[in-house]
Amino acid sequence: MKVLVPVKRVVDANVKVRVKPDNTGVDLNNVKMAVNPFCEIAIEEAVRLKEAGTATEVIAVSIGAGNCQEQLRTCLALGADRAILVETDVEAQPLGIAKALKAIQEKEDAQLVIFGKQSIDGDNAQTGQMFAALTGMPQATFASEVKAADGKLEVTREIDGGLQTINIDLPAVVTTDLRLNEPRYASLPNIMKAKKKPLDVMSPADLGVDLTPSVEVLSVEPPAEREAGIIVETVEELVDKLKNEAKVIS
Protein backbone atom coordinates (compact mmCIF):
# COMPACT_ATOMS: atom_id res chain seq x y z
CA MET A 1 0.00 0.00 0.00
CA LYS A 2 1.39 3.37 -1.07
CA VAL A 3 0.70 6.29 1.27
CA LEU A 4 0.79 9.93 0.15
CA VAL A 5 1.20 12.61 2.84
CA PRO A 6 0.78 16.30 1.92
CA VAL A 7 2.75 18.60 4.26
CA LYS A 8 2.92 22.36 4.70
CA ARG A 9 5.71 24.75 5.71
CA VAL A 10 4.48 27.06 8.50
CA VAL A 11 5.87 29.35 11.18
CA ASP A 12 7.12 27.24 14.08
CA ALA A 13 4.37 26.78 16.67
CA ASN A 14 6.63 28.20 19.42
CA VAL A 15 7.23 31.49 17.58
CA LYS A 16 5.14 34.57 18.34
CA VAL A 17 3.73 35.70 14.99
CA ARG A 18 4.27 39.33 13.97
CA VAL A 19 2.14 41.27 11.49
CA LYS A 20 3.86 43.38 8.83
CA PRO A 21 3.76 47.15 9.47
CA ASP A 22 1.60 47.67 6.35
CA ASN A 23 -0.86 44.95 7.45
CA THR A 24 -0.43 43.01 4.20
CA GLY A 25 0.44 39.74 5.92
CA VAL A 26 2.60 37.97 8.47
CA ASP A 27 6.27 38.98 8.79
CA LEU A 28 8.38 35.91 7.92
CA ASN A 29 11.80 37.58 7.98
CA ASN A 30 14.25 35.66 10.19
CA VAL A 31 11.41 33.51 11.52
CA LYS A 32 11.91 29.83 12.29
CA MET A 33 9.80 27.65 10.00
CA ALA A 34 8.70 24.06 10.57
CA VAL A 35 6.47 21.26 9.36
CA ASN A 36 2.85 21.99 10.25
CA PRO A 37 2.19 20.05 13.52
CA PHE A 38 -0.86 18.23 12.15
CA CYS A 39 1.17 17.23 9.07
CA GLU A 40 3.81 15.77 11.42
CA ILE A 41 1.07 13.60 12.91
CA ALA A 42 0.11 12.49 9.40
CA ILE A 43 3.72 11.56 8.57
CA GLU A 44 4.04 9.66 11.85
CA GLU A 45 0.87 7.67 11.16
CA ALA A 46 2.06 6.79 7.66
CA VAL A 47 5.45 5.66 8.97
CA ARG A 48 3.78 3.55 11.66
CA LEU A 49 1.66 1.86 8.98
CA LYS A 50 4.85 1.06 7.09
CA GLU A 51 6.58 -0.26 10.23
CA ALA A 52 3.55 -2.50 10.86
CA GLY A 53 3.87 -3.95 7.36
CA THR A 54 0.60 -2.42 6.16
CA ALA A 55 2.18 0.26 3.95
CA THR A 56 5.04 -0.29 1.51
CA GLU A 57 5.99 3.28 0.63
CA VAL A 58 5.48 6.73 2.19
CA ILE A 59 5.67 9.81 -0.05
CA ALA A 60 5.72 13.34 1.36
CA VAL A 61 4.54 16.12 -0.94
CA SER A 62 4.43 19.88 -0.56
CA ILE A 63 3.25 22.80 -2.69
CA GLY A 64 5.20 26.00 -2.18
CA ALA A 65 8.47 27.86 -2.64
CA GLY A 66 11.86 26.18 -2.99
CA ASN A 67 12.57 26.53 0.73
CA CYS A 68 9.86 23.91 1.38
CA GLN A 69 12.58 21.37 0.61
CA GLU A 70 13.80 21.90 4.18
CA GLN A 71 10.53 20.59 5.61
CA LEU A 72 10.38 17.75 3.09
CA ARG A 73 13.87 16.66 4.17
CA THR A 74 12.57 16.66 7.74
CA CYS A 75 9.76 14.31 6.65
CA LEU A 76 12.32 12.06 4.97
CA ALA A 77 14.31 12.00 8.22
CA LEU A 78 11.12 11.02 10.08
CA GLY A 79 10.69 7.98 7.86
CA ALA A 80 9.19 8.99 4.50
CA ASP A 81 10.80 7.16 1.54
CA ARG A 82 10.75 9.98 -1.00
CA ALA A 83 9.39 13.47 -1.47
CA ILE A 84 7.82 15.66 -4.14
CA LEU A 85 7.84 19.46 -4.27
CA VAL A 86 5.51 21.38 -6.55
CA GLU A 87 7.53 24.57 -6.63
CA THR A 88 5.69 27.87 -6.97
CA ASP A 89 6.08 31.42 -5.69
CA VAL A 90 2.29 31.82 -5.66
CA GLU A 91 0.76 31.67 -2.18
CA ALA A 92 -1.33 28.59 -2.91
CA GLN A 93 -4.78 28.33 -1.35
CA PRO A 94 -6.70 25.17 -0.37
CA LEU A 95 -8.53 24.62 -3.67
CA GLY A 96 -5.39 25.13 -5.75
CA ILE A 97 -3.42 22.81 -3.47
CA ALA A 98 -6.15 20.16 -3.72
CA LYS A 99 -6.06 20.37 -7.53
CA ALA A 100 -2.26 19.97 -7.57
CA LEU A 101 -2.49 17.00 -5.21
CA LYS A 102 -5.17 15.44 -7.41
CA ALA A 103 -2.76 15.60 -10.35
CA ILE A 104 -0.03 13.97 -8.23
CA GLN A 105 -2.45 11.29 -7.04
CA GLU A 106 -3.27 10.46 -10.66
CA LYS A 107 0.45 9.84 -11.24
CA GLU A 108 1.18 8.02 -7.96
CA ASP A 109 -2.10 6.10 -7.49
CA ALA A 110 -1.70 6.00 -3.70
CA GLN A 111 -4.09 3.74 -1.77
CA LEU A 112 -4.15 6.11 1.21
CA VAL A 113 -3.72 9.90 1.41
CA ILE A 114 -3.21 11.26 4.93
CA PHE A 115 -3.58 14.98 5.60
CA GLY A 116 -3.18 16.98 8.76
CA LYS A 117 -6.69 18.20 9.56
CA GLN A 118 -5.62 21.85 9.27
CA SER A 119 -2.60 24.12 9.11
CA ILE A 120 -1.81 26.40 12.04
CA ASP A 121 -1.45 29.46 9.80
CA GLY A 122 -4.50 29.53 7.51
CA ASP A 123 -6.47 27.32 9.93
CA ASN A 124 -8.93 26.47 7.14
CA ALA A 125 -9.33 22.67 7.53
CA GLN A 126 -10.42 22.51 3.87
CA THR A 127 -7.73 20.90 1.71
CA GLY A 128 -8.30 17.26 2.64
CA GLN A 129 -12.04 17.52 2.07
CA MET A 130 -11.59 19.36 -1.24
CA PHE A 131 -9.11 16.74 -2.40
CA ALA A 132 -11.53 13.93 -1.51
CA ALA A 133 -14.32 15.68 -3.45
CA LEU A 134 -12.13 16.20 -6.53
CA THR A 135 -10.88 12.61 -6.59
CA GLY A 136 -14.13 10.94 -5.53
CA MET A 137 -12.30 9.07 -2.76
CA PRO A 138 -14.08 8.25 0.53
CA GLN A 139 -12.87 10.32 3.47
CA ALA A 140 -12.57 10.07 7.23
CA THR A 141 -11.81 13.42 8.84
CA PHE A 142 -10.48 14.31 12.32
CA ALA A 143 -9.14 10.80 12.93
CA SER A 144 -7.97 9.86 16.43
CA GLU A 145 -7.40 6.16 15.59
CA VAL A 146 -6.77 4.36 12.30
CA LYS A 147 -6.74 0.59 11.67
CA ALA A 148 -6.17 -0.95 8.24
CA ALA A 149 -7.17 -4.49 7.25
CA ASP A 150 -8.57 -6.36 4.24
CA GLY A 151 -8.66 -3.33 1.94
CA LYS A 152 -10.61 -1.24 4.44
CA LEU A 153 -9.94 1.35 7.11
CA GLU A 154 -11.59 1.49 10.51
CA VAL A 155 -11.33 5.10 11.65
CA THR A 156 -12.36 6.60 14.98
CA ARG A 157 -13.27 10.26 14.50
CA GLU A 158 -13.39 13.17 16.92
CA ILE A 159 -16.85 14.74 16.74
CA ASP A 160 -18.69 17.33 18.82
CA GLY A 161 -20.58 14.71 20.80
CA GLY A 162 -17.62 12.40 21.46
CA LEU A 163 -16.26 9.69 19.14
CA GLN A 164 -17.58 8.09 15.96
CA THR A 165 -16.16 4.90 14.40
CA ILE A 166 -16.62 4.33 10.66
CA ASN A 167 -15.40 1.83 8.03
CA ILE A 168 -14.33 3.05 4.59
CA ASP A 169 -12.96 1.31 1.50
CA LEU A 170 -9.49 1.96 0.14
CA PRO A 171 -8.27 4.04 -1.63
CA ALA A 172 -9.26 6.68 0.90
CA VAL A 173 -8.48 10.08 2.42
CA VAL A 174 -7.85 10.58 6.14
CA THR A 175 -7.27 13.83 8.02
CA THR A 176 -5.53 13.54 11.38
CA ASP A 177 -6.61 14.95 14.71
CA LEU A 178 -4.31 15.84 17.59
CA ARG A 179 -4.82 12.60 19.55
CA LEU A 180 -3.98 10.20 16.72
CA ASN A 181 -0.34 9.80 17.78
CA GLU A 182 2.76 11.47 19.23
CA PRO A 183 5.24 12.30 16.42
CA ARG A 184 8.81 11.06 16.88
CA TYR A 185 11.96 13.16 16.74
CA ALA A 186 14.33 12.71 13.82
CA SER A 187 17.58 11.03 14.87
CA LEU A 188 20.92 12.31 13.60
CA PRO A 189 21.62 9.15 11.51
CA ASN A 190 18.18 9.49 9.87
CA ILE A 191 18.78 13.18 9.19
CA MET A 192 21.99 12.23 7.38
CA LYS A 193 20.23 9.44 5.45
CA ALA A 194 17.47 11.85 4.42
CA LYS A 195 19.97 13.88 2.40
CA LYS A 196 20.34 10.95 0.00
CA LYS A 197 16.65 10.12 -0.36
CA PRO A 198 14.99 11.21 -3.64
CA LEU A 199 13.23 14.59 -3.73
CA ASP A 200 11.60 15.43 -7.06
CA VAL A 201 10.83 19.04 -7.97
CA MET A 202 8.17 19.94 -10.51
CA SER A 203 6.12 22.98 -11.44
CA PRO A 204 2.34 23.53 -11.52
CA ALA A 205 2.67 23.66 -15.32
CA ASP A 206 4.10 20.13 -15.30
CA LEU A 207 0.87 19.02 -13.63
CA GLY A 208 -1.39 21.17 -15.79
CA VAL A 209 -2.66 23.04 -12.74
CA ASP A 210 -3.32 26.76 -12.23
CA LEU A 211 -2.58 27.85 -8.65
CA THR A 212 -3.74 31.46 -9.07
CA PRO A 213 -5.44 32.44 -5.76
CA SER A 214 -9.21 32.86 -5.85
CA VAL A 215 -9.33 34.76 -2.54
CA GLU A 216 -7.59 38.10 -1.96
CA VAL A 217 -6.36 39.02 1.53
CA LEU A 218 -7.20 42.67 2.11
CA SER A 219 -5.68 43.16 5.55
CA VAL A 220 -4.05 41.24 8.40
CA GLU A 221 -4.25 42.70 11.89
CA PRO A 222 -3.05 41.46 15.28
CA PRO A 223 -5.72 40.82 17.95
CA ALA A 224 -6.62 43.76 20.16
CA GLU A 225 -4.66 44.08 23.37
CA ARG A 226 -6.56 42.70 26.35
CA GLU A 227 -6.73 44.58 29.61
CA ALA A 228 -4.95 43.02 32.56
CA GLY A 229 -7.12 41.08 35.00
CA ILE A 230 -7.63 42.08 38.60
CA ILE A 231 -7.87 40.13 41.84
CA VAL A 232 -10.89 40.72 44.09
CA GLU A 233 -10.98 40.02 47.79
CA THR A 234 -14.58 38.86 48.23
CA VAL A 235 -17.47 37.35 46.30
CA GLU A 236 -19.47 40.49 46.99
CA GLU A 237 -16.81 42.63 45.31
CA LEU A 238 -16.75 40.25 42.31
CA VAL A 239 -20.52 40.45 41.91
CA ASP A 240 -20.41 44.24 42.20
CA LYS A 241 -17.81 44.55 39.44
CA LEU A 242 -19.60 42.09 37.15
CA LYS A 243 -22.82 44.04 37.65
CA ASN A 244 -21.65 47.66 37.60
CA GLU A 245 -18.39 47.64 35.60
CA ALA A 246 -18.54 44.69 33.21
CA LYS A 247 -22.35 44.84 33.11
CA VAL A 248 -22.61 41.13 32.31
CA ILE A 249 -25.13 40.39 35.07
CA SER A 250 -28.14 42.35 36.29
pLDDT digits (tens, 9 = 90+) for 191-246: 999 999 999 999 999 999 999 998 888 999 988 888 888 899 999 999 998 998 88
Compute the distance between CA of residue 220 and CA of residue 13 in angstroms, rounded to an integer: 19
222: cis peptide before it, omega within 30°?
no
- Which three-class secondary structure state does DSSP give residue 130? helix
Q: Look at the alpha carbons of 101, 104, 106, 109 in this order and tell me if their dihedral is positive or negative.
A: negative
- Residue 210 φ/ψ, nearest 5 degrees: -100, 120
Q: pTM here?
A: 0.87
Alpha-carbon torsion, ordered 142, 85, 122, 96, to 10 deg: -90
Contact 55, 46 (CB under 8 A): yes
In whole angstroms, what is the distance from residue 98 CA to residue 158 CA? Answer: 23
Task: Give the fold, CATH level 3, of 2-220.
Answer: Rossmann fold (3.40.50)
Cβ burial, residue 82 (10 Å; 0-12/13-18/19+) = middle
Indicate the pLDDT class of residue 249, thresholds 50, 70 and 90.
confident
Summarised one tens digit per residue, pLDDT across range 109-165 is 999 999 999 999 989 999 999 999 999 999 999 999 999 888 899 999 999 889 999
